[in-house]
Structure 1
Amino acid sequence: MTIKPEQETWADAAGQAHPAHNGPARIVSLVPSLTELVCDLGLVDQLVGRTGFCIHPKDVLRRVPKVGGTKDVNLDRLRELAPSHVIVNIDENRRECAEEIARFVPRVIVTHPCSPEDNLDVYRLLGGIFGRQAEAAALASDLRAALDEARQAGASLPREKVLYLIWREPWMTVARSTYISATLATVGWDTLPPGAEPRYPAFEWDAPWLAEVDRVLLSSEPYRFRERHLAEVEAAAGRPACLVDGEMASWYGSRAAAGLRYLAALRRKLAGLE
């Protein structure tokens, strides 16, 4: 009698073990940046659903049905798609929604990258479950190289304390417990305020900690800051300000390596090195 080896499994951010999936899967991603990763892993033909905020890669996703937003998933539409796997994120999707989805979807894959390095585990998780280990390894190799480049850029310049704006009226920023803050720290930008909670604090321009800010970064998402906002912010903060591509600072998944390189180049440019 032949004894089959135990099937390898991969643990997600909730500690759930997921076995390798045999045959084509039916994947729905409720996380924009991970929808892009699913495509970059070569799983486009197995992606049967996404949110309206899943916009990259545009040409491919036009053909993929929408199931609402990240916070307001259309569960009836999701049921109709009969997914074998649904990808969710602790920050971007509501826990109650994920628990309801788990009642009728065989596999709900929970993710929670909190730093650029955490993407290595996400690549390994999805690559393992869906049989895309080679593609995942290539992404991991590129990310490691980008992390080295970003760290070198950060080490070559004095660290700066930055205010990273994500919303206007009320003015909002990010705490150091966020993926954005960890990504910025890799290139030598330490976000203020220094606390971990709340993760996306609102503030007034007379807050005492603003005196420590060296530079203000205005993100393109979720609020779309534009050139016309720079003068307003510089006057309020009394510090230089610049626009930042928010996707490059906040999107994990396969965009993480490009994001780190973008931020490292921006850091050097603002220092007059490029």
Structure 2
Amino acid sequence: MSNRRTNVDALGHAHAPAGPGARIVSLVPSLTELIFDLGLGERLVGRTGFCIHPRDALRAVPKVGGTKDVKVDVLKALAPTHLIVNIDENRKETVDELAAFVPHVIVTHPCTPADNLQLYRLFGSVFDCEAAAERLCTALQSALDDAAALRAGLADEAVLYLIWRQPWMTVARGTYIAAMLETVGWRTLPEEAQTRYPVFEWPLAEQAGRVFLSSEPYRFKESHLAEVEALGKRPATLIDGEMVSWYGSRAVAGLRYLIALRRRLAGLVADQRSGAAAGASVSALKRSGVITR
């Protein structure tokens, strides 16, 4: 167990136990998924249109707009007791407006995969699901340990991670995406950037060993591989953006996905698709009770 207080959010605010009558609105897609994986789905009364997992269960949960364009009146009518927000994904001015009538605003800001340990424990402490939170912590720590062992046996590799096309955009090293990739030894380019999601010129790819084409926010497809390889003069590979950018409970399967992908591309596993390996890890988590849906 971490020595840090488990009920403190990213702004240092302590949160008392919510009790069984909590009414939660989540403005963060990956944390909406975490709420269900912690067994709290029945307490979720509102979510954004970008909250898409778990699909079937979310059909019954009202939408309150987007992560940035929240419909304040709709959210207020739901009478939430708790609002889940994120420093990067939600506008401060919007959160301040909502805080005028939502009693408890839980602010999150995981910057690395390991930060999810505190996130799990925060939700576990506030919403009385400590056992489920600790199961996720155990699963995540195991994945972090396996990623560290893999990285110790391979040289780090510079990569260029594409998130947009025309203009071509990538991620800065200070992002959660870059931290996830670095966990398995993939260091993103550029080394320094003025913005979190910089536009780049193709000579940058000359410093990379590989170019990744993410499935979000731009949906790169196999048809883009030849174009990118011609422009970058480097091998190009499709990558599941949700597995790399979604924190919360998805971090466990995301790390397993990246471990399998790194092993395959390094030639450590012959003829094994990383996507299948990630799917197997999600199934295993559900069978073991770590993920409840």
Indicate whether the TM-score tops 0.5. yes
Shift of 1:24: 2.0
> Structure 2 regions of 5+ residues with no counterpart?
270-293
User: How far does the alpha carbon of each residue in 1:81-106 deviate from its partner, in whole angstroms, 9 at most, with x for none?
Assistant: 01000100001111111111101100
Shift of 1:53: 0.6
Distance 2:240 2:6 in 1: 36
> Is 2:10 the partner of 1:16?
no
TM-score calculated relative to the size of structure 1:
0.94
- Residue type at the aligned position of 1:185: E
- Give the length in aligned residue pairs: 265
Correspondence for 2:206: 211
Instruction: After TM superposition, list the pairs within 5 Å mapping 1:74-223 onto structure 2.
Output: 74-195=71-192, 197-206=194-203, 209-223=204-218
Correspondence for 2:268: 273
Correspondence for 1:5: none
What SS does structure 2 have at the residue aligned with 1:116? coil
- Residue type at the aligned position of 2:211: V
Is the CA contact 1:116–1:179 (under 8 Å) kept in the aligned structure 2?
yes
What SS does structure 1 have at the residue aligned with 2:139? helix
User: How far does the alpha carbon of each residue in 1:102-160 deviate from its partner, in whole angstroms, 9 at most, with x for none?
Assistant: 01100110000000000001001111000010000000000000111112222222211
Is the CA contact 2:10–2:108 (under 8 Å) kept in the aligned structure 1?
yes
Correspondence for 1:45: 42
What SS does structure 2 have at the residue aligned with 1:65? coil
> Structure 1 regions of 5+ residues with no counterpart?
1-7
User: How far does the alpha carbon of each residue in 1:7-43 deviate from its partner, in whole angstroms, 9 at most, with x for none?
Assistant: x972110111111112221000000000000001110
What SS does structure 2 have at the residue aligned with 1:253? coil
**4+ residue segments displaced more than 6 Å:** none
Is the CA contact 2:158–2:186 (under 8 Å) kept in the aligned structure 1?
yes
Is the CA contact 1:9–1:18 (under 8 Å) kept in the aligned structure 2?
no
Distance 2:67 2:94 in 1: 10
CA-based RMSD of the aligned residues comes to 1.1
Distance 2:121 2:69 in 1: 28
Aligned equivalent of 2:250, options 230, 250, 255: 255
Correspondence for 1:235: 230
Distance 2:123 2:193 in 1: 29
Aligned equivalent of 2:219, options 217, 221, 224: 224
Aligned equivalent of 2:51, options 45, 49, 54: 54
- Residue type at the aligned position of 1:103: A
What SS does structure 1 have at the residue aligned with 2:196? coil
What SS does structure 1 have at the residue aligned with 2:142? helix
What SS does structure 1 have at the residue aligned with 2:191? coil
Aligned equivalent of 2:65, options 45, 62, 68: 68
Shift of 1:197: 3.5
Is the CA contact 1:162–1:191 (under 8 Å) kept in the aligned structure 2?
yes
What SS does structure 2 have at the residue aligned with 1:143? helix
